[in-house]
Amino acid sequence: MRRTLYLSVAVGDIFLWLPPDHETITWTAGPESPLKFPFVEPGVRGVVSIHLDVGALGEYAHEVDKSHIRVNDYPISCSRVNVTVEADSDRGSTQKVFLETAQRVTDRYVNRLLSYVRTELDQHWVVPVPIGEWDLAYFLFQARAMLLENGQPADMLSGDPANHMMPPPLEFDRPMVPLYATSRDEMCRFVQQRTTPSAETELIASAKQHFVNSEYGVAAVEAVSSLEVGLGTFVGNRLRRKSAYRAYKDVRERIGVMTYLKVLLPLAATEQELVACRPLIGDCAQLVTVRHRIAHAGARPSDDDVRKIRRGIKAVERILDVVREEGREPPTES
C-alpha cells in the first residue's frame, strides 16, 4: 500500500537571507528542490522530503514592496519545517507501523537539519525538537499531520492527542517533581526576585537533556563542567573563613576537576558529607576520563563510554545535592 504523510513541525526561528542581487521575493513555498532522503525500515520503504516552510513570504514581500525597502536588508524567519514521508508498506504493515516509522525518520532527519543550522550556520538558538520522545498521537497533533492511503485521505488514530503527551522516559534515578507538589510561595519568590538557577544546576540539566537526545559527548562535557563549578563553589565557601582560603583563591582558576574530587572535597567536606560522596567519586572519575578523551582526542563515545556517562551524570547530580546543603550564598568577605 502506498502511504503519504504530510507534516509541519514547529522548530523555532530559523533566519534566512536572500542573495544580495535579489530585491524581490520570487518564491513562496520553500526551496524548489527539497532535501530528499531514502529510508528502509522493517515493512516500510520510502523517501522523506524536507523543506523550510516559508508560506508567509508572499504577505511579507507585499508589505516590503509597499514601503520600498530592499528585501535582502532584513532576515526572513521560518518557524516550521515541512516534511513529506512517502512509502510503500508491506501487505501486513498496519497504518500504525507506518506512522511510527514516519515519526522515527522525521526525528532523525529534522533534528540533523536543525543541528546543521545550529552549528554550521551559527544559529545557536535553534535546538533539537523532542519528536522521538512524544507519544505517537501527540506527535501527529503537534505536526499537523495529514495522511493519505493510495492517494485518498485516511482516518487518523482516534483519541484526543492532548491527553496522550507523556514525559520522556527517565534515564536517571531522580524522579520528576509534580507541579502540585511545588510550593506556590517558593515559585512566586523565585519569579519576583528574578532568581536564576545556579550555573551547575543549569549545566547538569543540560547534560541530562543531551544524554536523552543521544548527544553523549556533549552530555559528558556539560556534566563535568557542572561538577567543576559546583565543587569549586563548595570548596570556596568552606575555606573562606580559614587561613588556607587566600592560597586557594590564588590558584583556583588552575585547579582541575580531579583535584577537586580527590583532594579538596575530602579536605572541605564533613565526615557525614564524605560518607555520602565517597561511593560516587569513582563514577565521577570515570566520567572525567571519558570527557577528556572526547574533548582532547576527538573520540566518539563507545557503548561502554555511554554507560559510564550515564552513571557519571547520576553521580554528579548526587554529589551536587550533598554540597548544595552548604548553602548557595557565600558569606561576605571582610
Same domain, 207 and 149: no
Same domain, 31 and 158: yes
Beta-bridge partner residues of 52: 81
Same domain, 145 and 256: no
Confirm whether 260 is domain-assigned.
yes
Give percent of the chain with pLDDT exceeding 70.
70
What's the pLDDT at 95? 87
Question: Higher confidence at residue 328 or residue 168?
Answer: 168
Confirm whether 334 is domain-assigned.
no
Domain boundaries, position 310: 179-326
Q: Is 201 exposed, middle or buried (CB count within 10 Å of its CB: 0-12, 13-18, 19+)? A: middle
How far apart (Å, rounded) are the C-alpha atoms in residues 211 and 310? Answer: 8
Question: Higher confidence at residue 105 or residue 196?
Answer: 105
What's the pLDDT at 244? 66
What's the pLDDT at 302? 93
Contact 78, 94 (CB under 8 A): no
CA 118 to chain centre: 12
pLDDT band at 245 (very low <50, low <70, confident <90, very high): low
Question: Higher confidence at residue 95 or residue 159?
Answer: 95
Confirm whether 171 is domain-assigned.
no
The three-state secondary structure class of 222 is helix
> pLDDT tens, 283-297?
999 999 999 999 888
In this model, does residue 334 exceed pLDDT 70? Answer: no
What's the pLDDT at 241? 65
Same domain, 186 and 291: yes
> pLDDT tens, 17-52?
655 554 444 333 444 457 888 999 888 999 998 887
Same domain, 147 and 197: no
Last residue in a domain, options 138, 163, 188: 163
Take residue 41 and report the three cell numbers written for it: 525500515
Place of cell 576520563: 289
Same domain, 188 and 282: yes
In this model, does residue 54 exceed pLDDT 80? Answer: no
Same domain, 92 and 184: no
What's the pLDDT at 289? 95
Average pLDDT over residues 300-316: 93
Same domain, 35 and 151: yes
Same domain, 184 and 277: yes
> pLDDT tens, 198-209?
889 889 988 988
Average pLDDT over residues 45-62: 66
Question: Higher confidence at residue 200 or residue 123?
Answer: 200
Q: Under 8 Å CB-to-CB from 209, ≥6 apart: which residues?
A: none
What's the pLDDT at 12? 77
Same domain, 116 and 237: no
Last residue in a domain, options 99, 128, 163: 163
What's the pLDDT at 287? 96
Confirm whether 168 is domain-assigned.
no
Same domain, 301 and 205: yes
In this model, does residue 127 exceed pLDDT 60? Answer: yes
Last residue in a domain, options 163, 194, 212: 163
Question: How far is residue 6 from each of residues 102, 133, 143, 195, 266, measured CA to CA in Å?
Answer: 10, 20, 9, 43, 58
Q: What are φ and ψ of residue 256, in 5° steps?
A: -85, 165
Confirm whether 104 is domain-assigned.
yes
What's the pLDDT at 68? 44
Same domain, 220 and 89: no
Contact 146, 6 (CB under 8 A): yes
Stretch (H or E) spanning 8: strand 2-16
Q: How many domains does the chain have?
A: 2
> pLDDT tens, 166-216?
555 556 766 666 555 566 667 677 766 766 778 898 899 889 888 887 889
In this model, does residue 250 exceed pLDDT 70? Answer: no
What's the pLDDT at 195? 63
Q: Under 8 Å CB-to-CB from 228, ≥6 apart: which residues?
A: 257, 260
Confirm whether 293 is domain-assigned.
yes
Confirm whether 57 is domain-assigned.
yes
Confirm whether 318 is domain-assigned.
yes
